[in-house]
Structure 1
Amino acid sequence: MFRKVMHICLSSGWGGLEMYSPRIIPELRRQGWEVHGLALEGSRVAASLAEAGITPLTMASRGQALLRVGRLLRYLKAHDIRVLHCHKSSDLRLGALLVTLRPSLLLFFTDHMGVTRPKKDPYHRWAYGKVRRLFSISEATRRRNLTAFPLPPERIRRLYLGIDPAPYVPRLINTERQALRDSLDIPPGAVAIGLAGRLTPGKGQGVWIEALARLTARHPALVWHGVLIGGLTAGEGSSEAFVAELRGRVAELGLGERVTFAGFRSDLPRLFEAIDIVCVPSRNEAFGLTVIEAMAAGKAVIGADSGAIPELIDDGTGRLAAPDDPEAWADAIGELTGDAALREHLGEAARQKVNAHFTLKAHVQELVEAYADALKGAS
């Protein structure tokens, strides 16, 4: 059996979609697969694939990749690669063309974003018609995919994302944890309320700040500190205009001493050790990696009751609140801020749920089973 796959991601951006392939490569290798990659020259995707241990084939643009389809076919033949896996809908043109020219290739596609409009015109019927299996990363996106894509239901499968829980196991000693809290300006004894993600309107930082203002009014005796984790510049994936808007609103509400803009951080597993409550007020998450990362760290999580987040947390593992309702967020934050025992109980239940249902090992195992089944059926 050909246990080889090429992951195709011709993107110049950097987000969950682009991080996916390099993140799963080590586990794919552990499960016996040889991984190849196709990326844009000079892109962060190409660099991350190299960091993950493979030398990707690179193209200057998607257009160049289409023009060099013959070179790609020769590369695939030389390396005995029969499985292709695309992650951007714009890359399906290339994937479908490769399968059209060499029907023995097997094409897979993961919808990381959650399609928002039907794709059933002649072009999309051709392109998606070449896909052996479309993976939806949540039940919420699968429901939309069943309606939007020109594929029979049996070719659309829900495949939850997963993480390696090991990095999220607490490892800081008390003095290290305190030093980290000090660096974030968290006062001694304060409950740290964190929100991690790109600073853009869809991630809900605005409603979170409004909720903190209401928390102060409702529970003046509570000692808390907010920590916003995420890049502050466009180069780090955030909206600089929105960052300025958030800073202005924090000042207007008199929260300047109670909210830290921590900026981009690469040490999120350790930052979770400094935080007591993690908030994820995103309006329409296709999955919610930050949710399961915080759960794996044993944190009490409050998530938006929209998109896929309700599939990840419930009353036994966290709390949900409407993404556009600061009153509801203030209620949920106030409940957890005032009850350390409840936070600990929810955090432990959340950690166990991730270990049982959302590990990278389980995700990749289901993925390679789909690859293997397709190869078996094609042989």
Structure 2
Amino acid sequence: MSQPTVVRIIARLNIGGPALHTMHLSHGLADSYPTVLVTGAVDEGEADLFDEVVARGVHVVRIPELGRRISPWQDGVALAKLVRLLVRVRPRIVHTHTAKAGTLGRIAAVLAGVPVRVHTYHGHVFQGYFSPVLTRVILAIERTLARATTTLVTVSEGQARELVDEFRICPAPKMKVVPLGLELDGFAPARSAGLRDGMRAELGVGAEPVIAVVGRLVPIKDHALLLRAAARVAAAGQEFRLAVVGGGPEEPALRALCARLGLEGRVSFLGWRRDLDRVYAGADIVALSSRNEGTPVALIEALAAGRAVVSTDVGGVRDVLRGGELGLLVPSGDEAALADALLTLLRDPALRETLGRRGAAEAPARFGVARLLGDVRRLYDGLAPGKRAASRNLTPSLTDS
């Protein structure tokens, strides 16, 4: 490969918005900004995008100690390996993604003397993840790191306001907004219409509407809220099937909750799926019940697929749904409001069609890969003008992390 201009760092390539984002940037900008992508290992039970990223020709360096969890010993080892890699590669830009990689990667970039340091917040861990005391410590670290960062990026306007005004991470001029960019063509209703019957046959449903939820089965996604709302919908006499797509440590507890709520016959746990085009084609509604989000990939994909959506009003969701123009918003943690919104959509096919048509018309231009690549190319051009890669090959020097 050419002399890398960018070293991009992310803690893990688990299936989700941040990993897809880094994959598209690393591959799509290779012509003007050759990139080395550094990552750690996924958590147990998570699906891994590593092979797909490598198959696209991205040069990936895996540092096993660079995981999501906090571990002083492993974090120290990962930091040392990152510094060694950056000294050897000498990139113009280090671009970090997500909290753990953002902390270790930016410290390593400072120690290695990398001139341009960029960090993207795909969400944040300042609410709903840790105790108040630990959250205050993390905020102090983030504010310090922000002063050592050339540019901070977030994936939605709402999250940018939150980080600047509520959490005081940095002054507003230092924060840029670059929304996610995804490969959405395969979800277009015209391309996926033929998949609907097959997916519904797999679920064993007839005419009843299908609600889908796509995401990791972890506490922050609050699937339990959705199940409790679904129980209210069932109590109201409304027919439906709920398809839960994803995996994670909460699955046993969620299955037990289904049993307690009497939902076993209405809920299907489908695990991780690669055929999300089929999932969305077979659904009538896509729901999200998270306590916190950056920019939820599932909602963007659902919009592109022409599906009506309902979501808790957290993080960047309001920006994705244009304040409720493209889907229904409910307060976080409010199962009654979520149930009412689901009932509204379940009982009104015309509203579902209207919302789905709006989403399918807007999503590709707002959240497509081409827009993402253009945004980040312009960002890099402004930060490192005239410093694009030379032609010499450094592949051998990158293999030892």
The TM-score range, normalised by the shorter chain, is 0.7 to 0.9
List aligned pairs for 1:195-274, cutoff 5 A: 195-218=213-236, 220=237, 222-231=238-247, 238-239=248-249, 242-274=250-282
Cα gap change, 1:73/1:173 in structure 2, threshold over 3 Å: closer, same or farther? closer
Query: How many percent of aligned residue pairs carry the same amino acid?
Result: 26
Q: CA deviation at 1:60?
A: 4.8
Cα gap change, 1:244/1:373 in structure 2, threshold over 3 Å: closer, same or farther? same
Q: CA deviation at 1:356?
A: 3.3
The CA deviation string for residues 210-242 of structure 1, in whole angstroms up to 9 with x for no partner, is 222222232x2x4321111111xxxxxx12xx3
The CA deviation string for residues 292-344 of structure 1, in whole angstroms up to 9 with x for no partner, is 11101110000112222112114431111123222212211111112222111
Cα gap change, 1:39/1:259 in structure 2, threshold over 3 Å: closer, same or farther? closer
Letter matched to residue 272 of structure 2 = F
Question: Would the aligned equivalents of 1:281 and 1:323 in 2 still touch at CA under 8 Å?
Answer: yes
Compute the TM-score of the two structures, normalised by the length of structure 1: 0.84
Match of 2:365 in 1: 356
Q: CA deviation at 1:276?
A: 0.5
- Of 208, 217, 221, which aligns to 1:190? 208
Letter matched to residue 109 of structure 1 = H
Match of 2:97 in 1: 87
Q: Which ranges of structure 2 fall in alignment gaps of 5 or more residues? A: 66-74, 127-134, 389-401
List aligned pairs for 1:22-101, cutoff 5 A: 22-29=23-30, 32-40=32-40, 44=48, 47-61=51-65, 62-68=75-81, 71-77=84-90, 81-91=91-101, 92-101=103-112
Question: Would the aligned equivalents of 1:5 and 1:84 in 2 still touch at CA under 8 Å?
Answer: yes
Question: Would the aligned equivalents of 2:17 and 2:295 in 1 still touch at CA under 8 Å?
Answer: no
Partner Cα separation in structure 2 for residue 93 and residue 67 of structure 1: 9
- Of 261, 282, 286, which aligns to 2:290? 282
- Of 151, 155, 162, which aligns to 2:170? 151
Match of 1:179 in 2: 198
Letter matched to residue 216 of structure 1 = A
Partner Cα separation in structure 1 for residue 244 and residue 347 of structure 2: 20
Letter matched to residue 309 of structure 2 = V
Q: Secondary structure at the match of 2:59?
A: coil
Letter matched to residue 269 of structure 2 = F
Question: Would the aligned equivalents of 1:25 and 1:52 in 2 still touch at CA under 8 Å?
Answer: no
Cα gap change, 1:223/1:375 in structure 2, threshold over 3 Å: closer, same or farther? same
Letter matched to residue 8 of structure 1 = I
List aligned pairs for 1:275-314, cutoff 5 A: 275-313=283-321, 314=323
Q: CA deviation at 1:108?
A: 0.7
Match of 1:234 in 2: none
Cα gap change, 1:163/1:259 in structure 2, threshold over 3 Å: closer, same or farther? same
Question: Would the aligned equivalents of 2:306 and 2:359 in 1 still touch at CA under 8 Å?
Answer: yes
Q: CA deviation at 1:347?
A: 0.4
Letter matched to residue 245 of structure 2 = I
Q: CA deviation at 1:47?
A: 4.2
Partner Cα separation in structure 2 for residue 355 and residue 378 of structure 1: 32
Partner Cα separation in structure 1 for residue 56 and residue 232 of structure 2: 45
Q: Which has the higher contact order (CA 8 A, sep 6+)?
A: 2
Letter matched to residue 118 of structure 2 = F
Partner Cα separation in structure 2 for residue 9 and residue 108 of structure 1: 12
Q: Which ranges of structure 1 fall in alignment gaps of 5 or more residues? A: 232-237
Partner Cα separation in structure 2 for residue 97 and residue 211 of structure 1: 45
Q: CA deviation at 1:205?
A: 1.7
Partner Cα separation in structure 2 for residue 89 and residue 308 of structure 1: 17
Partner Cα separation in structure 1 for residue 294 and residue 333 of structure 2: 17
The CA deviation string for residues 123-149 of structure 1, in whole angstroms up to 9 with x for no partner, is 666643331111112233323322546
Question: After the TM superposition, which of the residue ranges 268-277 and 52-61 deviates more from structure 2?
Answer: 52-61
Cα gap change, 1:144/1:223 in structure 2, threshold over 3 Å: closer, same or farther? closer
Partner Cα separation in structure 2 for residue 316 and residue 359 of structure 1: 19
Match of 2:129 in 1: none
Partner Cα separation in structure 2 for residue 42 and residue 20 of structure 1: 16
Question: Would the aligned equivalents of 1:199 and 1:230 in 2 still touch at CA under 8 Å?
Answer: yes
Question: Would the aligned equivalents of 1:300 and 1:346 in 2 still touch at CA under 8 Å?
Answer: yes
Partner Cα separation in structure 2 for residue 201 and residue 64 of structure 1: 29
Q: Secondary structure at the match of 1:376?
A: coil
Aligned length: 360
